[in-house]
Amino acid sequence: MNLDDAQQTFIVESLELLQDMEEALLRIESAADDPDTINAIFRAAHTIKGSAGLFGLDDIVSFTHVAESVLDRVRDRQLQFNAQLTALFLQACDHVGVLVRLVADGNESAPQTVRDNGANLLSVLRGFLGDESESTPGLGTQPGGTSTVEHEPGIESGGESRTADHWHISLRFGLDLLRNGMDPLAFIRYLATLGRICNIVTLGDHLPCAAQMDPESCYLGFEIGFHGDVDQATLENVFEFIRDDSQVHILSPHCKTDEYRQMVRELPEERQRLAEIIFIRCCELTAATGAGPLEQPPLPPAALVIDPAPVEHPIPAAIPDDPVSNSPQVQDSRRSENSLIRVDAGKLDQLINLIGELIIAGAGANLAARNTGASELMEATAVLARLVEEVRDSALTLRMVQIGSTFNRFQRVVRDVSREMGKDIRLEISGGETELDKTLVERIGDPLTHLVRNAMDHGIEPAEVRLAHGKPAHGTLRLNAYHDAGSIVIEVADDGGGLHKEKILRKAIERGLVGEGQHLAENDIFNLIFEPGFSTAEQISNLSGRGVGMDVVKRNITALRGSLELDSIEGQGTQLRIRLPLTLAIIDGFMVGVGNASYVIPQDMVVECIELPANDGLDYLNLRGEVLPFIRLRELFDVEGKPPRRENVVVVQFAGQRAGFVVDRLLGEFQTVIKPLGKLFGQLGGLGGFTILGNGEVALILDVAGLIKRIAGTKQRTLASQR
């Protein structure tokens, strides 16, 4: 196995576990005694500790070991989660995240500031352990992913001094050992590094016949005689990571006979097989006396004869004959769990790029087939185009992820910021199941963070102000997402004081953004907050007030081919809507022609196509009783030549607004591979990218949102000037 790949998997899974741990810690504040949530937090810390030990990441192991000890006390009801402990573990979660990211960046050691922060957190965590002596994981790592525990020489957890002698280790691995990523032989190999394995018997008594065998299940067990200068705690830590679903018995060299008899009673084997196990122990005892090799099997000592008491633990669930583990429901659940695989994001990006090139090549083949006029060739290219479209849709589906995980991260942001500001703010999330391209999810996080923090600082008032205006003392912040006309809409809304138009306009006049006496529509006034350096805050806080941020948010959203819409009612609240395309890679387009140039309109935004009636030079038409403003692409892009006698109007819709694009020709549907414009053309209005046609020519992709906004803005300014 490539250790670099394994470590990368550890990094990804650890960050996911930390995210789950943080969400559980935020839930625990309202359900401090919920055992499922407490166990989820413990499992996350335990898994990270064990996996880190596999790679010798001692900083992570030693820190999570102490955190795990505190969590173990919580599980035993010796401690209870309260605000203080929850806040402490949120900080601990952040610290482990920093350590994991340092590993991801290739840093061999943490900076001193990180070490100091970890030492401070450890000091506070140990305070919850009282006088209990907590062992610190050392440098050795076990095959299951945990680290050995160091003790003073000759001292073990029982307080007795041990000398090098034979130990007996009895292992019965759980059915899911292989599924959990463990290697049974790795435990044997690791034991060999601690001492010498004197004898070993491999047990496969419950191995089913080939027809009934599940290749992903583990049916093995071992009886091991071990010689080494180790203590009980060291050997127990070897198997710490599998104790929950496996049977592990470790008997010291000088254990009492009753301990051995108790172990044998708990083993799942039948009587005859148990006698063989007793024989193994007799061999160990004989070897320990130095009597030399055995020529004949000795009779077991009378004290080791098993009494006829029934076995206390029946055959475990790992046995194939267990009706529960082999029920259809359990089998379906296991198949579902094993049907998911983790794929590197870079490989998905490469796949999408290759499919994009395949679409362009397919368009070229289709054009060549039409030029030849060969019916068989045209039919073959049509089938190829259909299959390429299906492959494209499947590949794009692989890149779609739910936005809920991004929304859930703001639970922590709202909790911390509201406490810092002394406000009671509650977060409501809806639409978390809405899916969009993973690239958009990654790049929308920072703009959303700024909008959320800005809403908490500027939007939601202090409790006393809210009560004076008849509002609840607690403020509410809402995050919502939904699909609309081929786009995804993300809403950030609050029930705060809203935007003050007069205050914004006055500030804009002071800065020279608006002239004295100039009339602006309401939306134009609101959009002034997106101007660089614009701020109405009276005081600068840790969160906002410096006029930096909202312009960056708008610029980042625009870079994603998205748009921002803002609605506000003074005294009631503000709502920001971010509209984004579902994907940045490949879309279904509708191609039109103007002069010798071709343009592509996203097909999801196309409503209908009609012939342009005679309108005496007006820039709108009557569409079944509705006024439809339109824009002539020939004039917009300064296309030379005269328009044809018959022109067409493509009716498009975005964000509830309709408009028309006047074009020369309608060229039909076209699979469009979106390619970004270069920096030289990035600021051109009305364009969202370009694509390559089958004949090698370039077609520009229209920015429908920007063009509709331009039409609507012209209309609003005209109405404002007429007042």
pLDDT tens-digit readout, 427-470: 999 999 998 888 888 888 888 988 998 889 888 999 999 999 89
Residues across the chain: 723
Residue 488: HSE in the Cβ half-sphere, 13 Å Cα cutoff: 25
Tens digit of each residue's pLDDT (9 = 90 or more) over 232-243: 888 888 888 787
- What is the CA angle 172-178-182, rounded to 5? 85
* Whether pLDDT at 225 is above 70: yes
How distant is the alpha carbon of residue 626 from its chain centre? 46
pLDDT score recorded for residue 2:
46
pLDDT for 413 equals 87
- Taking the C-alpha atoms of residue 68 and residue 38, their distance in angstroms, rounded to an integer, is 11
pLDDT band at residue 723, thresholds of 50, 70 and 90?
A: low
The reported pLDDT for the residue numbered 519 is 78
Rg of the chain (C-alpha set) = 35
Q: Which of 382-386, 673-677, 702-706 has the highest average model confidence (pLDDT)? A: 382-386
CATH homologous superfamily of 586-722 equals: CheA-289, Domain 4 (2.40.50.180)
What average pLDDT score do residues 644-673 get?
90
Band (pLDDT 50/70/90 cuts) for residue 141 is very low
Among 142-151, 329-338, 370-379, 404-413, where is mean pLDDT lowest?
A: 142-151
* Percent of the chain predicted with pLDDT > 90: 20
pLDDT tops 80 at residue 528: yes
Q: Are 506 and 479 in contact (CB under 8 A)?
A: no
pLDDT at 280: 52
546 pLDDT exceeds 60? no
Q: Measure the CA–CA gap between 248 and 236, rounded to whole angstroms.
A: 9
Domain spanning 151-326, CATH architecture: 2-Layer Sandwich (3.30)
Contacts of 340-346 spanning 24+ positions with Cβ under 8 A: 342/9, 342/12, 343/398, 345/438
More confident residue, 260 or 288: 260
Exposed e or buried b for every residue in 209-231, given b needs 16+ CB within 10 A?
A: eeeeebeebbbbbbbbbbbbebb
Read off the pLDDT of each residue in 580-594 and give the average, rounded to a whole number: 86
CB 632 within 8 A of CB 594: no
DSSP 675: B
- Which of the four pLDDT bands, split at 50, 70 and 90, describes residue 270? low
Mean pLDDT of the chain: 78
Stretch among 88-92, 274-278, 565-569, 659-663 having the lowest mean pLDDT:
274-278
pLDDT band (50, 70, 90) for residue 516: confident
How does residue 99 score in pLDDT terms, banded at 50, 70 and 90? very high
**Whether the domain at 151-326 and the domain at 586-722 fall into the same CATH topology:** no
Structure confidence by residue, pLDDT tens digits, 472-496 = 999 999 999 998 867 889 999 999 9
Q: Which pLDDT belongs to residue 722?
A: 52
CATH 1.20.120.160 fits domain 3-141: yes
Give the start-to-end residue ranges of the domains of the chain: 3-141, 151-326, 346-399, 402-581, 586-722
Taking domain 402-581, whether its CATH number is 3.30.465.10 is answered by no
Residue 334: band (very low, low, confident or very high) from pLDDT cuts 50, 70, 90: very low
Q: Are 630 and 659 in contact (CB under 8 A)?
A: yes
Minimum mean pLDDT among 314-323, 464-473, 508-517: which range?
314-323
